Structure 1
């Protein structure tokens, strides 16, 4: 019998972990299962090879012998070899029982004919939704068209850029009456506002004239959804920061909770001064020097 590379059959490396083997086996067994490939002899052969490879590599002792002896790994026990070969040729009910129990959580010992009635979950769908930051400040309803079907969904306020949500049962139809797949939606959020968003907090730069920064006063600024008045303390320094609690972005799926708005003051130096202004600044300069 020609040597069979079980690692190659499962598409894994010799350093694969037990989890890697299990994942590869489930993926390939689903792909080549007879229910999905009726009257396909090549798929049936492939299906048997996959199960044979899994039988060896998923058992520590078998895998050690296979790694050590290669194509002669079965020669250690001729009786066991004959038993395995017999099972491979007839593909017994026990093998199908192991397959269905491990992959689909089945019970009992189903025969080949019962295996054809196994229920498969439908294909999962993936979609992307382009939104603006203003769109997700409040929750709203939207209709998506996925694979020709219209799906109504509520988009919660506060979703993040790149966030993926799952809508259960909105994917492809199941096989043999199995459950429908799920729909995964990825949100791509554009920001055309003057605010920078980091998590639930918003950041904005506010220009402050020199006179107000020195003497103090009152200014009015924009928040994300309204305007507020702020009292400026005398002698406010450039790059000073002020936090407005609860004036940031809504917290995802926590109605009524908001992050904070962080304001950074940038003091503007006056230009195009009049002669009078220059004269006054010179007087201030002298006072400062004399002081």
Structure 2
């Protein structure tokens, strides 16, 4: 069997951090997932390959042993016996002392590499078939299932109020409760709703990233909202009251006489709810846009002409 370069599989450098490895793995897993590529043998192969690489490189112990052992893989293969003997010890006369403490595998005679689960032959030889606890001995350790990722788009008003929502992931209906104030791009974790665990291990999680649809009425900035409010020129000149619809219900505002166009009013506590902070809200900013009367009658034109005569331009 050929040596597998797990770093190359994930497309990362050998000095990559755990976070970089996780990011690369998630990208490949999404790209080649069987649900996204049904009946695609090549995508399935690459998906399994990425899983195998992540299984090793995301585990500090396995990664260390893989790095130590990988450079000598071909030389090890060329040794008589080429692997684990029936006793579970490395065979073929290869000098394993450089990979172990004191030249042996410890008190139990088991593999220093642990168990890799149901993976490739290379993985099995490297991590599972060299000791009593590996696949060659019929044992296997439980492993957590794969985390799954999904996106959910909701309207701004639903993000404001929150509430129950039923979604379908991989043919399974799930009910979740959205907390008011959730932000665009925010991710929540549903434990035990991901891929099935291996050998009795726990299921993975489902990670849901929220996308908040744009709204024609409001612009959201953090927990604050901005809303354009049309105001007639008469109300702007003479002052008065006007009712404004907000996400929390109608609000009556007072407009001062001689209010200029694009004047901003601040309504404290009428913005977006602060996520998981009961009773706390951002602010709502109203931008007053003056509207001009259309289709003037002859009498209205005459009155405006009289007004203009009283205020000649300089």
Q: CA deviation at 1:30?
A: 6.5
For the pair 1:112 / 2:131, whether they are aligned, the reply is: yes
For the pair 1:93 / 2:114, whether they are aligned, the reply is: no
- Write the mapping of 1:106-185 to structure 2, written as runs, cut at 5 A: 112-115=131-134, 116-185=139-208
Whole-angstrom CA distance in 1 between matches of 2:143 and 2:261 = 64
Whole-angstrom CA distance in 1 between matches of 2:168 and 2:186 = 19
Whole-angstrom CA distance in 2 between matches of 1:52 and 1:144 = 42
For the 8 Å contact 1:248–1:259, the answer to whether it is kept is yes
Whole-angstrom CA distance in 1 between matches of 2:132 and 2:193 = 30
Partner of 1:54: 67
For the pair 1:250 / 2:273, whether they are aligned, the reply is: yes
For the 8 Å contact 1:128–1:185, the answer to whether it is kept is yes
Q: CA deviation at 1:286?
A: 2.4
- Indicate how the Cα distance of structure 1 residues 18 and 93 shifts in structure 2: closer, same or farther if over 3 A, else same: farther
Q: Which structure is richer in relative contact order (CA contacts within 8 A, separation 6 or more)?
A: 1
Whole-angstrom CA distance in 1 between matches of 2:14 and 2:210 = 34
5+ unaligned residues in a row in structure 2: which ranges? 26-48, 56-62, 76-92, 116-129
TM-score (norm 2): 0.62
- Indicate how the Cα distance of structure 1 residues 164 and 20 shifts in structure 2: closer, same or farther if over 3 A, else same: closer
Q: CA deviation at 1:270?
A: 2.3
Q: CA deviation at 1:260?
A: 1.2
Q: CA RMSD, aligned part only? A: 4.2
Deviates more, 1:179-188 or 1:232-241: 179-188
**Aligned partner of residue 153 in structure 1, secondary structure:** strand
Q: Show CA shifts across 1:172-201 (max 9, x none).
A: 221122221111112233245522222222
For the pair 1:232 / 2:255, whether they are aligned, the reply is: yes
Between structures 1 and 2, the one with greater helix share: 1
Whole-angstrom CA distance in 2 between matches of 1:21 and 1:53 = 18
**Aligned partner of residue 172 in structure 1, secondary structure:** coil
Whole-angstrom CA distance in 2 between matches of 1:14 and 1:132 = 37
Q: Show CA shifts across 1:109-150 (max 9, x none).
A: xx7222443221111122232322222322312333333433
- Indicate how the Cα distance of structure 1 residues 272 and 261 shifts in structure 2: closer, same or farther if over 3 A, else same: same
For the pair 1:200 / 2:223, whether they are aligned, the reply is: yes
TM-score (norm 1): 0.67
Partner of 2:237: 214
For the 8 Å contact 1:207–1:266, the answer to whether it is kept is yes
> Which of 11, 16, 19 is the equivalent residue of 2:17?
19
For the 8 Å contact 1:10–1:53, the answer to whether it is kept is no
Deviates more, 1:206-215 or 1:146-155: 146-155
**How many residues are paired up?**
239
Q: Show CA shifts across 1:226-252 (max 9, x none).
A: 111111111111111011111112221
- Indicate how the Cα distance of structure 1 residues 112 and 150 shifts in structure 2: closer, same or farther if over 3 A, else same: farther
5+ unaligned residues in a row in structure 1: which ranges? 37-49, 58-62, 72-83, 102-110
- Indicate how the Cα distance of structure 1 residues 146 and 290 shifts in structure 2: closer, same or farther if over 3 A, else same: closer
